[in-house]
Structure 1
Amino acid sequence: MWDLIDKLATIIGLIAAAIAAWNALKLRKETEQRWQKENEQIYVILRSPSQKIRLPVEIKRRDFTRSELLGYIGMLPLIEGKTRFNLNFTSTAEFSQQLEIIRQAGVEFIISCDESELDQFNYAKQPVAA
């Protein structure tokens, strides 16, 4: 009788250990996938109809917040006499919506500007491909 109980307890223990190992492997895989996604780089581009500026840094997805983004844009050199940049798009609800969409998926955040907004930056601008 005790032999039967001993064998049954051993089998139950082995099954429980196998389930625990399976769950640990599954959790590890999910954690690695989340870590990889959080470390993906997001590129930020200020774009007008005729030219664009790509920020010289990439922001990791986990750090891609409104304040970080505006801080990186603020690091771009401005033309003399300007102390703060002004981009109308950053004050819209669409900006916040696009920010959240990019945080979930996407690798490129494009901020639409007009020519005068882009001209306030003293930075190498590239022509926009047609």
Structure 2
Amino acid sequence: MSRSQNVIANFNNGLNCCQCVLLAFSEELGLDKKAAIKIALGFGGGMCHGEVCGAVTGAVMVLSLKYGNSILDDIESKEKVYEMVREFKEKFTEINDSIICRDLLGIDLIKKENRIMAREKGLFKKCPKFVEDSIDVLETML
């Protein structure tokens, strides 16, 4: 099963966008799968408020794990990650016109009734595309 197929299966089985993206790369980055799922949970649905898309925040986590600093004065690694995050954001935005969940889905998820409406209208069916786009962009960058 390809990475994209696996991600879609994970999404369809209840993981959110951020969880799917981080989990797709967790093993090769040395992050326990259960830990990845827990770490990424609160970032789904644009941090539960329709803000930055979970697929984007998952990608930022992947870039940070791959290239981030683990010692305090490693400014070079820190700057590398910041630049890669900017590059990722630009590429994702070129594909999807935004990195903001409410813009991508076309609904404000802050209100409970809107979240219910989004589920009823099937708006979350758009999410696997954003997850796949994130993974595709990451694979070109890693």
Q: Tell me which interval the TM-score lies in, with the shorter structure as reference length.
A: 0.3 to 0.5
Q: Which has the higher contact order (CA 8 A, sep 6+)?
A: 1
- The structure with the largest strand share of the pair is 1
Q: Between Structure 1 and Structure 2, whose CA radius of gyration is higher?
A: 1
TM-score by length of 1: 0.34
Give the TM-score normalised by the residue count of structure 2: 0.32
Higher helix share: 2
